[in-house]
């Protein structure tokens, strides 16, 4: 009989969401929420286009990427037809609703109520000329990369 | 199947340690299971969630998602995390005498 290695359970995750498409942000949101459901401490850092998830005016306008996304199984030239992205987004939202996965704004509320900490990336804020007022209230703070690493102490960092 | 004694009764449990048969469940079993999970007393809030889960499971055969519980049980998301710390859905399902939940949200 071989002895099985016993690993320490994960206690904290620090998830980075860097993409601004619906298929880019949901995996990170689902994993952060799933962590809280398991009693794992969770923080989410929104950077680059992922920042739109926590921008009041943008959060509910995020769409599925139909161009340059081989997983969609549609040729790029068709994916580029006006309306394709909206169509794919509607389809995906319907499927997610069946699984009881909420829309972006409700998902953020849920994460916050679950005790996940949400942070905006300072570099991305500056780059896209966003101000603190553009962020939703659930955001704890705007962090530099250094501060992000500091707060991630003891966490597994997951980049999405 | 494995058995164990909970509140004086010999009860079958599944591989996750949850009750194998939800119909043998009663409030004494719930309280003992809750204590093992670090919840010392079952308040009205706990009971609302437990009965909601059991009713839903009986009618649909599935354990509702956190989102649904937060909306329909009368206990909101924040409170759910307070009542069942460190794993609300898993703990609530176990205390309710139901199997381990399979949903991701």
- The full set of domain ranges for chain A reads 12-62+102-159
Q: Count H helices, E strands: chain A?
A: 6, 5
Residue A3 has pLDDT above 80, yes or no: no
In a domain, B102, yes or no: no
Of all residues in chain A, the percent with pLDDT exceeding 90 is 72
Name the pLDDT band for B89 (thresholds 50, 70, 90): very high
What range defines the domain where residue B89 resides?
3-95
- Residue ranges of the alpha helices (H) in B1-105? 27-36, 44-60, 66-72, 77-83, 88-95
Neighbours of A82 (CB within 10 A): 6
Contact yes or no for B77 and A33 at CB 8 A: no
Tell me which of A35, A100, A105 to substitute to probe the interface with B (most B C-beta atoms closer than 10 Å): A100
In a domain, B86, yes or no: yes
Name the pLDDT band for A70 (thresholds 50, 70, 90): confident
| pLDDT at residue A2, rounded to an integer | 65
Number of structural domains (chain B) is 1
B104 given a catalytic annotation = yes
In a domain, B23, yes or no: yes
- For residues B25 and B54, what is the distance between their CA atoms, to the nearest angstrom? 10
ipTM exceeds 0.85, yes or no: yes
Contact yes or no for B81 and A102 at CB 8 A: no
Residues of chain B found within 8 Å of residue A113, distances taken between Cβ atoms: 70, 76-78, 81
| pLDDT at residue A131, rounded to an integer | 96
Q: Show the tokens assigned to B15.
A: 């591989």
Question: Touching check for B76 and chain A: CB below 8 Å?
Answer: yes
Contact yes or no for A37 and B68 at CB 8 A: no
Note the CATH architecture for domain A12-62+102-159: 3-Layer(aba) Sandwich (3.40)
Residue A68 has pLDDT above 90, yes or no: no
- Cα of A133 vs its chain's centroid, Å: 20
Over residues A131-152, the mean pLDDT reads 97
CA atoms within 13 A of residue A93's CA, in its CB half-sphere: 17
């Amino acid at each position: 009989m071989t002895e099985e290695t016993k690993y320490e359970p994960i206690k904290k995750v620090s998830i980075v969401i860097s993409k601004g498409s619906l298929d880019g942000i949901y995996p990170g949101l689902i994993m952060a929420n799933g962590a809280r459901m398991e009693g794992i401490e969770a923080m989410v850092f929104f950077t680059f286009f992922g920042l739109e998830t926590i921008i009041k005016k943008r959060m509910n306008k995020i769409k599925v990427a139909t161009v340059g996304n081989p997983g969609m199984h549609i040729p790029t030239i068709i994916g580029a037809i006006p309306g394709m992205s909206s169509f794919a987004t509607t389809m995906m939202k319907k499927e997610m609703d069946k699984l009881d996965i909420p829309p972006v704004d409700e998902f953020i509320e849920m994460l916050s109520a679950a005790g996940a900490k949400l942070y905006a990336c300072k570099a991305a804020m500056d780059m896209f000329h966003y101000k603190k007022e553009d962020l939703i209230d659930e955001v704890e703070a705007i962090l530099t990369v250094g501060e992000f690493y500091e707060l991630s102490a003891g966490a597994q960092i997951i980049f999405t | 199947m494995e058995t164990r004694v909970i509140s004086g009764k010999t009860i079958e449990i599944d591989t996750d340690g949850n009750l194998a048969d939800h119909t043998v469940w009663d409030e004494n079993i719930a309280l003992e299971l809750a204590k093992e999970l670090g919840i010392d007393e079952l308040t009205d809030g706990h009971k609302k969630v437990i009965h909601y889960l059991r009713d839903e499971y009986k009618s649909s055969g599935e354990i509702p998602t956190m989102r649904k519980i937060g909306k329909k049980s009368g206990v909101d998301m924040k409170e759910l995390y307070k009542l069942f710390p460190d794993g609300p859905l898993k703990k609530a399902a176990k205390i309710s005498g139901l199997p381990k939940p399979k949903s991701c949200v």
